[in-house]
Structure 1
Amino acid sequence: MKKTAIILNNGVEETEAIATIDLLRRAKIEVDLFSTDSLDIVGSHDIKFRAQKELSKLKIVDYDGLIIPGGPGTKDLINNEIVLKLVKEFHEENKLVAAICAAPQILGKAGILNGVSVTHYPGANEFLKEANDKSPKQVVVDGHIITSVGVGAVFDFGLALIQYLENDETAQKIKTEIVYDY
């Protein structure tokens, strides 16, 4: 069974976090919820939920991928040394590194986007100068790095993660089950 870690913090875009977690779990991909601070999270729209583990406890060897949702809380993650270190280490191990909305900026700050094609929330382009192509597409997959434009693309993002971690057949199965593109 594939296993991923998702980073949550106050100000996270709730839909990007929860929909991604839901889609992956529907595909039988394990998702552990890590928090940078308190396990109690207050999202960008004042929705409260709870992470499972402290980020300092994340061990790369235990995971196939790292996922970072966006939202206004991204500004706090961009300067979080633990987050930047984890992004670099997952990248160096050629494991999935995924970010949506404003979060691709974190990948840029970590220095892993040199020559990589990405997409991001409009205007959230700090630290993306080294990226090869900043496409306006819903989702961009470039090797083991997957980026997405924002909450409106969260289903495409989740399905791309499933396709990457599992296969086309599993992604199509989930797409059918959730009546996506009906």
Structure 2
Amino acid sequence: MINKMAANGKKILMLVGDFVEDYEAMVPYQMLLMLGHKVATACPGKSPGDTVATAIHDFEGHQTYTEKPGHRFAINSDFATVDPADFDAIIIPGGRAPEYLRLDNAVLDMVRHFAETAKPIAAICHGPQILVAAGILNDRECSSYPAVAPEVTAAGGRYITPGKGLDTAHVDGNLVTAPAWPAHPAWIREFHQLLESV
């Protein structure tokens, strides 16, 4: 079974930056490797062997999430030489990284490539901020962390309200989105199904 999965594995680009949400980078990375996929982690200004700092966001009954220091997440690809055409799909974790990664035109061009070629795109939590900035959500349905809902709507997207436990994922064509890391089982399951159709 594992050999079969590895033989059918896809090449996935994961965009990260400093203070990416720890669980939303670490856990999907490990899950996708376990399923036999190859995951290239890339960050503007970083090279293989570098790391990004992560932040752990938790839901502890306050009006918004709390933030704690996370781990160091390894970069295994050189952002400057990454060609999105070499990849079958892209995954965009949340956290604080998307708010500044969306200011990088090279990041936006990469994301547009996946939209224009209808390759699978997975984004979670604040990750859809990059989708908004890339201009690819017009007339698309998108889930995200609730605080990103006004941006999704302003970009012409239809915001999908998550379930109470933030544990649901939503699929609209080649786009699979989710509100936060509690949705990992549903989000990665749906993303993996999209990958199998590529």
TM-score, L = length of structure 1:
0.85
Q: Distance in 1 between matches of 2:29 and 2:70?
A: 19
Return closer, same or farther for 1:140/1:58 CA change in 2, 3 Å cut-off: same
Hey, which bits of structure 1, 4+ residues long, moved more than 3 A? none
Q: Distance in 1 between matches of 2:151 and 2:106?
A: 18
User: Counterparts of 1:12-31 in structure 2 under 5 Å?
Assistant: 12-31=20-39
Identity %: 28
Q: Distance in 2 between matches of 1:135 and 1:164?
A: 22
**Equivalent residues of 1:19, 1:158 under 8 A apart:** no
**Aligned pair count?**
167
State the 1:126 CA deviation: 4.8
User: Counterparts of 1:152-167 in structure 2 under 5 Å?
Assistant: 152-166=182-196
Q: Distance in 1 between matches of 2:85 and 2:97?
A: 27
Q: 1:37 aligns with which of 28, 45, 50?
A: 45
Structure 2 unaligned residues grouped into runs of 5+: 1-8, 56-68
Structure 1 unaligned residues grouped into runs of 5+: 168-182
Q: 1:80 aligns with which of 78, 82, 104?
A: 104
Structure 1 residue aligned with 2:3? none
Return closer, same or farther for 1:36/1:159 CA change in 2, 3 Å cut-off: same
User: 1:111-156, CA deviations, whole angstroms, 9 ceiling, x for partnerless residues?
Assistant: 1111111100011235312113433252111011111110111222
Structure 1 residue aligned with 2:59? none
Structure label with greater radius of gyration? 2
User: 1:37-74, CA deviations, whole angstroms, 9 ceiling, x for partnerless residues?
Assistant: 23321111231121111222221221110111000122
The 3-state SS of whatever aligns with 1:124 is helix
Return closer, same or farther for 1:124/1:132 CA change in 2, 3 Å cut-off: closer
Q: Distance in 2 between matches of 1:60 and 1:72?
A: 23
Q: Distance in 2 between matches of 1:110 and 1:126?
A: 16
Q: Distance in 2 between matches of 1:2 and 1:117?
A: 25
User: Counterparts of 1:55-70 in structure 2 under 5 Å?
Assistant: 55-70=79-94
The root-mean-square deviation of aligned C-alpha atoms, in Å, is 1.5
Q: 1:2 aligns with which of 7, 10, 13?
A: 10
